[in-house]
A and B are shown apart, each in its own frame.
Chain A
């Protein structure tokens, strides 16, 4: 518990340059520890999705460091970041999370297969992950043949397959009804209780409340409970 699974240190991200520069994140520091689910809230444009793409190494910070499981993502290079996504980071998106041409089991085993795991081992790991999420019977279905909630479960299974400890969820319940959405959050919560570190981006307070901690983002800046006034004041 002493080293965070995910650690953002003074991370800034500026899109574009000059007049058109958009400060998506300013000097954000953030940690997520194993066994912890952290919710990131904020209105659209507050930088919460940018935070997630930086954490997953799909984007690079303009300044600052992003460290996943002790590896500096910037230093790791594109190849290293791809490797980390295969072995350490799992993504769950809002919808269309699954590759339509692959079955549930193939979607789940994808990171392992991309990593060069033997087909049989990858299948076995996928079956285990699907069983853990209670959808072992959906293994051979294609995404078209599953409900939204089932698809999200498969996506979570893919995010955790192969002992990965960082789950990055971007509005994972956005396309679901409230009951199914809640099921998904329970699952995420359970995965974190089982030892994963979760970062959940959402704009629904109800869902954010499943987290251990809630981080508020405003204009690329983190509002903490303690120094909220200061930050807001400073901005004025």
Chain B
């Protein structure tokens, strides 16, 4: 087991932000292991540090204590190595680039050959079911489509690890359900490792193989729940007893972290 390094390995990770109002303890004593092929959800109320934890893995923030490794390297080395694709809360598309131009952005930066760029952009667009929208500008697309382009952009350079920060948080429930199902299909095909931040219990239960329940002030991990659901899932699974039990466990974990004293 030990010869394959874990994708993410965190022990006693601590993060304190120095702000004008004094130090803020954002994350405390985080222990977490993420294996290859896992679909991990980080769930918790706002302010629990789930996005911050994702940003630590992505080397967009630096921990102030503890040990954090990504693919057996420091997060910075992993970032320099372009080991992960990051999907932000908002689509973060460049408004002056077409859909195709946006998909090619990481490829241009990483120095992929021109001919290869077109092929990979086409392929990624097909994966998110947006073939035919190459020449459109972002403002010509709906919010859900923009977010799909942003996911496709992270797929173009074939990272094995996807870090996703509430990618469907700003969308309405109908579109969200569609994208959840679509994204699950995509994950089944590619079996990438996914770390997925959400504050929706059904989303976490439906998508994940492992659910990490967090609580705020300071942000810490309350519970890690292995999903009992079968790997092949459709949206109907949400009506089953198993799904409801899983949701209940998550809810309990969230409640335990909330002390109203």
A and B held together in a complex: no
